[in-house]
Amino acid sequence: MIAICIGHGRPVDQGADSIEGISEEAWNTKIAAKLARILTERGHACQVIGDYQGRTYGQAMRWIANQLAKIKATCAIELHFNSSDDPKSHGHEWLYCGVSNNGRALAAKLDKAMRSAFPQLIARGLKALTAKDNGWGYVYGTPCPAVIAEPGFGSNQIDWDTLDDHQEAYATALADGLIAWIGGKP
């Protein structure tokens, strides 16, 4: 069971806005639906999880960990995009729990698939999170290997246009990476 989690899925947190004013939560809801369809068409069980419960980040992360345990997720991806006050910031990166070899391996498969699908985007690589980093609660607290996807900067016009104009290709790259980690043929 592949869990597709929509980052910033709490009512009090919609995440950053893209350069066009689209929130992370709204954009990634569309990506999650596309990714779920592709995985299902390829014969892989998956579940989309949004609308996180809990008012605080910690509460939401405990809730999502419980949901992943209930569905017996074998891996999880939380969909995001980066944002910066510097419009020159760009590129994709994959965040994982620094003490999880399986999380790192999952991040590496996703990175490889993204590099192949979008060679024009800067690859910022894999980022091992520690307890002091944003996102640690998600990658550390899940009962399965988990990665936070940061496919580009919504605040960078080139990254945003590339990703938004090619949503299906992005969802396909995610599916390829997830399936490669599972061991199946994408």
| pLDDT tens column, 25-34 | 999 999 999 9
Instruction: Look up the CATH number of the domain holding residue 161.
Output: 3.40.630.40
Total number of domains constituting the chain: 1
Domain residue limits at 26: 2-182
Give pLDDT, residue 56: 87
Give pLDDT, residue 34: 98
DSSP 20-71: TS-BHHHHHHHHHHHHHHHHHHTT--EEEE-S---SSHHHHHHHHHHHHHHT
- Residue from 69, 80, 71 nearest 110 by CA: 80
The pLDDT tens digits for 140-161 are 989 999 999 999 999 999 999 9
